Structure 1
Amino acid sequence: MRPALLQLFCILTIALLLVDPAAARPKTPNIVLILVDDLGWSDLGAYGSEIPTPNLDSLAAAGLRFTQFHNHAKCFPSRAALLTGLYPQQVNRAERAYTPMTDAATIASSLKAAGYRTLMVGKHHGIENPISFGFDRYRGLRDGAANHFNPGPRARPGEPPPARKRVRTWCFDGDCTNTYQPPDPQFYSTDAYTDWAIEFLRETRSRQPIQPFLLYLAYQAPHDPLQAPAANVHKFAGQYRQGYASIARARYARMRATGLIDDSFALPAPTYRTWSTLSAAERREQTLRMQVYAAMIDRLDENIGRLVEFLQAGDLFDNTLILFMSDNGASAEWVLTGTPPREIGHTHPIGSVGRWASLGPDWAGVANTPYRFYKNYSHQGGVATPLIAHWPTGIKQPGRIVHEPGYFLDIHPTLLAVTGAVYTGGPAGATADLPGADLSPLLHKDVTIKRPQPIFQRWQHSRSVRDGRWKLVSHAEGKTAEAGTWALYDMQRDKTETRDLAAHHPAIVARLAGAYDRWHARFAKPATDAD
């Protein structure tokens, strides 16, 4: 090309970009995966909650809400499945968090090979730096739960020692440390993760050539310790004095009124205590626990609003697929120490930097309304998560409620489909080794997703098999999962698992139990400890 023509071509190209910002955007969608920690199924306004979550509700109203989406009942197995699209048992992350994750091609490595800038912020819950899994940038908590106000090993001036279970490792790109001590007295994990995510996105937008991006934003909240800024806690003063049943019934009524659920979601018998049987002191304490928990969710929603505002201001919002989900159901676990067992820092107020307070089983049962049980169970209360999908240029008929079952295993093949990327864990373009399904057709209309095989779950004492309408599930507290007695549920008619049909359909039980035994025999192997 002659110099004069080349100069004219460059001038016209620059002018086009200045006139039409869309010309500068990647044609393939940006991806934002937002994963929260220990959120109950009914903890968002769009899913029936009294907790105001206007930013997430707005995404749901202009996108899709899933009622039958599933994680893996526990933090680190869920995260392994989400990242890889493989069962946790396939990547050595089924039993213990601190084992090396093996044979792990991730969504980051697949999208990076397709030209994506890959970013991760927040909780990983493993021993690896996510940089080794295909992320260009990573900043966050490499380990499990940590103090939200001060994850460091020492007290800051004017504060008590931070409540903590153990020393945690944080990574800042290639540098990892177990002595991270935020100097800012206003540090709060949810705020910091959003700040870092926006920083990474701002940097990505400034790079040339322009790349589409994957942002995996893994918040710690509302996982314990129950801690939130005072301004958010004050919003909910007195709101939970009426007790468990009142809140649960109101949530269920809102779900029915808004059309989120139908008659196939029966409200099971409550697992929480009768409020009037609690002493006045217990009621005050329980009220405060839920108040702080609600404040954590409120703060989450505020920060997601900040992220959305950044995407909108940068002309990125319309071509960004946002997926929001939780790694398991609300948690009934207590973190206790000493004799007699008490919460870490029990002399400090609930919600403060010095106290590791937990939600407990009563409020966890409310948070998972209408499902039964909690985190660590393969029943719906443990594995059902809200899923909100939002993508203005990619979702047709927004506002739909999707009842088609989906799983964390489906995220990797779905992202391959919507981005045109290929799976980096097998032959070019081959996804046959991924057990999940491509859910991208659901972005356009309600369809039935055909699965060539059942979906299996196993964590500690629980296990399940889901094949179409049928779910086989068991839980053996204190024993291995295989010691449990199978129960069978028709998930078309009984999505909350209230009627065990095992005695009525022995052939179905035998078929699904046999499928589980074969799957378990294939993948059950001792986890390999890290050096």
Structure 2
Amino acid sequence: MNIFSKLYCVISTLFLFGSCKEAVKEKTVAKDDRPNIVLIMSDDMGYSDIAPYGGEIETPNLTALAENGLKFTQFYNTGRCCPTRASLLTGCYPHQAGIGHMTNSPENPTGHDYEVPGYRGSLNTNTVTIAEVLKDAGYRTLMTGKWHVGYTDEKMWPLQRGFDKFYGIIPGATNLFKPEYPRGITVGNDSIKIADENYYTTDAFTDEAIQFIADTDDTNKDSPFFLYLAYNAPHWPIQAPQDVIDKYKGKYSEGWQKLREERYARMKEMGLIDANWKLTEQDSRDWDSIDDEKKKELDLRMAIYAAMVDRMDQNIGKLVDSLKARGQFENTIIMFLNDNGACAEFDELGSGPAEQLETKEGYVLSYGRAWANASNTPYREYKHFLHEGGMATPFIVHWPKGIPTEKRGETIREHGFLPDLMATSVDLAEAAYPKKYKGNDIVPTAGKSLRPLFQEAPKRIHTEPIFWEHEGNKAVRLGKYKLVQKWEKDVKENWELYDMEKTVPKPIT
């Protein structure tokens, strides 16, 4: 071989080596274009409280997400906080996850353990969480806010169920200014006390979520993230920063019937409900029967509740702004929903001493059933129940990169439910839902991916019946029909069948 042939071989080898090296380099640094997934949930909020669903409460950030994304009119939770969170996280029916009723509490660690698989009071190991599935698929998994699906053992907590980082509350309720009882704030697995006099959980949960994203970007910026942001607003105790409360004082002085009528009119105008639907009967005493001093207190209770929703929306705006600043907004899918219908627990006219309103004191402060009836306009019943007022949730989806321009602002009338969020997340993350996990057989997910509704012409996702049960209240949905029963002692023949495209609330007989 002459010198020129040898030189040619050397040059060719170097060229091929360099090309292969570049190919390996390109493969190594190729950007992961799977979307970031942000799941935001409010707590004890009514169907019509936010502006995109007919409410008068100022929620411009949720409005913007709805107008540039999609909003669903018939998406369902399970009617109560714990089973909703269990179903959302696992993609299964709550009974399959072990929380058919409620989770156990620190005061009564076996209080909701009925020693049957569907009612053990904490997430079981025959289900996987969205965080566990997405973590195995290469996602960073972050959570801030309310856990409430297992308290008595750390094995039930977020870090042990797939989340890389957690900041929030393990139990179901706390004072929003002073989260001390029963555990305070948990960071990772550790309990901390809050000394900041300006502390407010809604603000803190958002700030920590933003910081988690920034911190994990610094260490693993090429991987997408999953964020579960579970606010405890507007769950009781009704507490909000004073400047936000002041915006709403006096706005509810005409009472709940006037509020229901105004929201009902807006909902019809927006096309959220059929113009032929009648407003359900008022489930409270007449506003004019109440004395002026009590009216002033009730106006204040509703003003505080509205302020909680307003402040939550402000914080959602803060999160959106941070995603935009980091260049992550376009390929982040944001899904917003609520855990159950408005809360009618305690008294018709609110609970907790009036003198604690507008202070940082109190634990069981509520706005009452009368206002909850307005929050659930136009539906009847509340949290706990499986009529629309208990289980219909606002559901907003925003994803600039994934929702075609021509579909943005669309209203989706096909029905879906919580397990669909697992199936959707698995689809978006190109993940694999496991049959086994850590040696345990895993229950198949009950959900269907909603992705076709985001990107194609509307079509029915669920052609099979889907079911709910909580505290003896029951419901079945198949196509346009819904069969529902409210549990009443010694009453068996109270099933109601509804055509959801024609009549609400008149049942088909």
Q: Fold conserved (TM > 0.5)?
A: yes
In 2, the alpha carbon distance for the partners of 1:264 and 1:403 equals: 16
Contact 2:350 2:367 in 1 (8 A): no
- Bigger drift between 235-244 and 95-104 goes to 95-104
What SS does the corresponding residue of 1:289 show, helix, strand or coil? helix
User: Does 2:399 match 1:416?
Assistant: no
What SS does the corresponding residue of 1:262 show, helix, strand or coil? coil
Contact 2:62 2:313 in 1 (8 A): yes
TM-score (norm 1): 0.83
- Counterparts of 1:148-167 in structure 2, within 5 Å, are 148-153=176-181, 167=182
In 2, the alpha carbon distance for the partners of 1:142 and 1:261 equals: 37
Match of 1:299 among 311, 315, 318: 311
What SS does the corresponding residue of 1:140 show, helix, strand or coil? strand
Query: Which residue in 2 is equivalent to 1:509?
Result: none
In 2, the alpha carbon distance for the partners of 1:483 and 1:400 equals: 41
In 2, the alpha carbon distance for the partners of 1:424 and 1:134 equals: 14
Query: Which residue in 2 is equivalent to 1:101?
Result: 123
In 2, the alpha carbon distance for the partners of 1:276 and 1:226 equals: 24
Query: Which residue in 2 is equivalent to 1:79?
Result: 85
Contact 1:143 1:170 in 2 (8 A): no
Aligned-pair identity (%): 40
Query: Which residue in 2 is equivalent to 1:113?
Result: 136
Query: Which residue in 1 is equivalent to 2:62?
Result: 56
Instruction: Give the unaligned 5+ runs of structure 2.
Output: 1-12, 105-120
TM-score (norm 2): 0.86
- Structure 2: which amino acid aligns with 1:172? V
- How far the C-alpha of 1:348 sits from its partner, in A, is 3.0
Query: Which residue in 2 is equivalent to 1:487?
Result: 496
- Structure 1: which amino acid aligns with 2:396? I
In 1, the alpha carbon distance for the partners of 2:135 and 2:498 equals: 41
Contact 1:475 1:484 in 2 (8 A): no
In 2, the alpha carbon distance for the partners of 1:6 and 1:53 equals: 55
User: Does 2:356 match 1:349?
Assistant: yes
Query: Which residue in 2 is equivalent to 1:199?
Result: 211
Match of 2:387 among 379, 384, 394: 379
User: Does 2:157 match 1:143?
Assistant: no
Specify whether residues 185 and 262 from structure 1 end up closer, same or farther in structure 2 by C-alpha distance, changes over 3 A only. Answer: same
Query: Which residue in 2 is equivalent to 1:446?
Result: 457
Match of 2:299 among 274, 287, 294: 287
- How far the C-alpha of 1:278 sits from its partner, in A, is 1.1
CA RMSD of aligned residues (A): 2.8
Match of 1:41 among 41, 47, 66: 47
What SS does the corresponding residue of 2:355 show, helix, strand or coil? coil
In 1, the alpha carbon distance for the partners of 2:436 and 2:86 equals: 18
In 1, the alpha carbon distance for the partners of 2:500 and 2:233 equals: 30
- Structure 1: which amino acid aligns with 2:183? R
Specify whether residues 328 and 9 from structure 1 end up closer, same or farther in structure 2 by C-alpha distance, changes over 3 A only. Answer: same
Query: Which residue in 1 is equivalent to 2:5?
Result: none
- Counterparts of 1:220-259 in structure 2, within 5 Å, are 220-259=232-271
What SS does the corresponding residue of 1:207 show, helix, strand or coil? helix
- Structure 1: which amino acid aligns with 2:399? W
Query: Which residue in 1 is equivalent to 2:108?
Result: none
Q: What are the superposed Cα offsets for residues 254-294 of structure 1, whole Å, 9 maximum, x if unpaired? A: 12222222236432222232210111122111101100000
What SS does the corresponding residue of 1:348 show, helix, strand or coil? helix
- How far the C-alpha of 1:402 sits from its partner, in A, is 0.5
Query: Which residue in 1 is equivalent to 2:107?
Result: none
- Bigger drift between 140-149 and 95-104 goes to 95-104
- How far the C-alpha of 1:4 sits from its partner, in A, is 13
Task: Report the number of matched residues.
Answer: 469
In 2, the alpha carbon distance for the partners of 1:322 and 1:60 equals: 10
In 2, the alpha carbon distance for the partners of 1:124 and 1:301 equals: 20
Q: What are the superposed Cα offsets for residues 179-238 of structure 1, whole Å, 9 maximum, x if unpaired? A: x42110001000000011001000121123511000000000000000000010011121
Contact 2:185 2:193 in 1 (8 A): no
Contact 1:190 1:219 in 2 (8 A): yes
Query: Which residue in 1 is equivalent to 2:479?
Result: 468
Contact 1:476 1:484 in 2 (8 A): no
- Counterparts of 1:125-136 in structure 2, within 5 Å, are 125=148, 126-127=150-151, 128-136=156-164
Stretches of 4+ moved more than 4 A in 1?
1-10, 341-344
Specify whether residues 296 and 2 from structure 1 end up closer, same or farther in structure 2 by C-alpha distance, changes over 3 A only. Answer: farther
Contact 1:36 1:327 in 2 (8 A): yes
In 2, the alpha carbon distance for the partners of 1:121 and 1:130 equals: 10
Query: Which residue in 1 is equivalent to 2:190?
Result: 176
Contact 1:462 1:484 in 2 (8 A): no
Structure with higher Rg: it is 2
- Structure 2: which amino acid aligns with 1:150? K
